[in-house]
């Protein structure tokens, strides 16, 4: 059995990873995968280390830098930022994009009915709570730039998913970007979903993890994605547990659980995503497809 350490943060991002482990799909591929759990913004016991402004000070990134895990997945733009900066900034363990991942995580911008916000244009110059340089941040920019000028989109830090949900309910911010299961928690509490989208994950790894091993991991994740798609209710408990008693399984919107087989990260995809993040000033210039992407699982 080949041993691999893969990190995870939130179930909506890492559900195929969890199912591949627990259903034996990794084992079927000859892999012994240890999942290193790190606090993300959506777990009931989340801390603020996962939200530090310097991404390399965060729990997952610190563990990867120290060699405590071999592989991780995050939102496509977040992995782009980390892969680019680990290559262009000295002192960090390099990580390359090795696949377009299997989880399409659901994100939504929610408001309080008391705020009387009915359309995206009403968020002009109003604070929207996000996790900086994480999926909620990038997805919020993507969702709103079709309605507002870039300089009119105002994001702010308001803590974890649970904390920013409270900030919306208390009128401290105009809106917040949430992922599941916190979108369902917000709906249960009577908050309004203004905009909603899926955000594709990317997979990243260091050079120590070879192509054949990655290929086995991705086949196992593909099998897990298929199993989840056939019966999402069976695996909803992974998400419900993160809400810490604030949500019943029947209250989770299962249609928001979306997964697919991992696939190669194409040059066209790289060019589009890198130029978008560069245009927002979220990554440094100078990255190339060759020094950021490695599709060795398919070679």
Across the range 59-80, mean pLDDT stands at: 88
Share of the chain above pLDDT 70, in %: 96
- The residue assigned the tokens 């900034």 is 89
pLDDT of residue 158: 85
Contact, 107 vs 135, CB < 8 A?
yes
Structure-token pair, residue 43: 């777990």
Q: Check pLDDT > 70 for residue 223.
A: yes
| Closest to 143 in 3D by CA, of 164, 111, 121 | 121
Tell me which of 49 and 6 has the higher pLDDT. Answer: 6
| Least confident residue range of 14-28, 82-96, 185-199, 214-228 | 82-96
Q: Check pLDDT > 60 for residue 49.
A: no
Range 52-83 burial, b when 16+ CB lie within 10 A, else e: eeebbebbbbebbbeeebbbbbbbbbbbbbbb
């Amino acid at each position: 059995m080949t041993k691999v350490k893969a990190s995870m943060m939130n179930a909506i991002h890492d559900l195929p990873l969890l199912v591949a482990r627990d259903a034996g799909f990794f084992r079927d591929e000859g892999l012994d995968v240890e999942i290193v759990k790190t606090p993300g913004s959506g777990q009931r016991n989340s801390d603020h280390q996962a939200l530090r402004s310097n991404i390399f000070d965060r729990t997952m990134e610190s563990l990867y830098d120290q060699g405590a895990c071999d592989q991780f997945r995050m939102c496509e733009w977040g992995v782009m930022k980390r892969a680019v900066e680990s290559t262009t900034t000295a002192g960090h363990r390099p990580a390359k994009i090795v696949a377009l991942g299997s989880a399409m995580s659901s994100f939504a911008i929610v408001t309080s009915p008391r705020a009387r916000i009915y359309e995206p244009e009403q968020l002009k110059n109003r604070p929207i709570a996000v996790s900086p340089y994480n999926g909620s941040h990038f997805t919020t920019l993507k969702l709103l730039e079709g309605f507002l000028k870039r300089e009119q989109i105002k994001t702010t830090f308001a803590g974890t998913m649970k904390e920013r949900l409270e900030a919306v309910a208390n009128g401290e911010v105009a809106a917040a970007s949430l992922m599941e299961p916190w979108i369902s928690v917000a709906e249960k509490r009577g908050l309004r979903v203004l905009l909603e989208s899926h955000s594709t994950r990317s997979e990243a790894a260091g050079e120590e993890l070879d192509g054949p091993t990655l290929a086995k991991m991705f086949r196992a994740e593909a099998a897990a994605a298929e199993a989840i798609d056939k019966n999402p209710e069976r695996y909803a408990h992974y998400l419900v547990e993160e809400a810490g008693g604030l949500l019943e399984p029947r209250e989770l919107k299962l249609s928001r659980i979306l997964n697919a087989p991992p696939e190669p990260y194409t040059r066209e995809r790289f060019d589009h995503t890198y130029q978008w993040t560069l245009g927002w000033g979220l990554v440094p210039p100078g990255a190339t497809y060759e020094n950021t992407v490695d599709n060795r699982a398919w070679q």
